[in-house]
Amino acid sequence: CSLRHFVGDLFISRGFHSDGLLFFFFQAEDGIRDRLVTGVQTCALPIYHATDAIIEVTAKDLKEAFSVTADAVVNLTLDQDKVEEKEKKEFSAQGKDVRYLLFSWLEEIPFVIITEGFAIRRIEFEIIEENGYKINAIAYGEPLDLHKHNFKVEIKAPTFYDMEIRQNDGVYMRFLLDL
């Protein structure tokens, strides 16, 4: 068996395809036991498939990097420009260091969108460094409407795999999201 055809495309930095349609071609020979079906039958079944997104961020400082990261996560999930600021929702992220803070941030934003059903237009936040790191945030937006906000893909989880953060003469972040 081989996976051959991808339909749809979402590209983020050096990211990958997301939420497209795969056609899985196989031959059904021995499995068919219907007297009306003869010969080799070739089948094409659509299989919805999501994969990973690799996102790279370059910013002047840590706050800008986390802001750009938030926008990337929101825009990966839905069309941010279609969201109106009707309500606000408070949330936080924390970590023992910047890597764990980024991981927590990447968990919290999809949680607000998907689990709490809140489409985010923008986020105001502060980063506090005291016995580790903490972000206190306020998201502005409205209840999630899958059609109005053009829901694209669900982010299952961030991962530490291939995560990189450099803070010298600006900030560089690279991280992978499991879609």
Q: Which tens digits make up the pLDDT trace of 41-89? A: 444 444 444 578 888 898 999 999 999 999 999 999 999 999 999 999 9
- Nearest Cα to Cα of residue 150 among 48, 69, 80, 87: 80
What span, in angstroms and rounded, lies between the C-alpha atoms of 174 and 58? 9
The helices-and-strands tally (H runs, E runs) of the chain is 2, 9
Q: How crowded is the C-beta side of 112, counted as CA atoms within 13 Å?
A: 28
DSSP-assigned letter for residue 81:
G
- pLDDT at position 52: 81
Query: In whole angstroms, how large is the CA radius of gyration of the chain?
Result: 21
Which parts of the chain sit beneath pLDDT 70? Answer: 1-50
Cβ proximity of 40 and 164 under 8 Å:
no
Burial class (CB in 10 A: 0-12, 13-18, 19+), 49: middle
Enumerate the β-bridge partners of residue 171. Answer: 59, 167
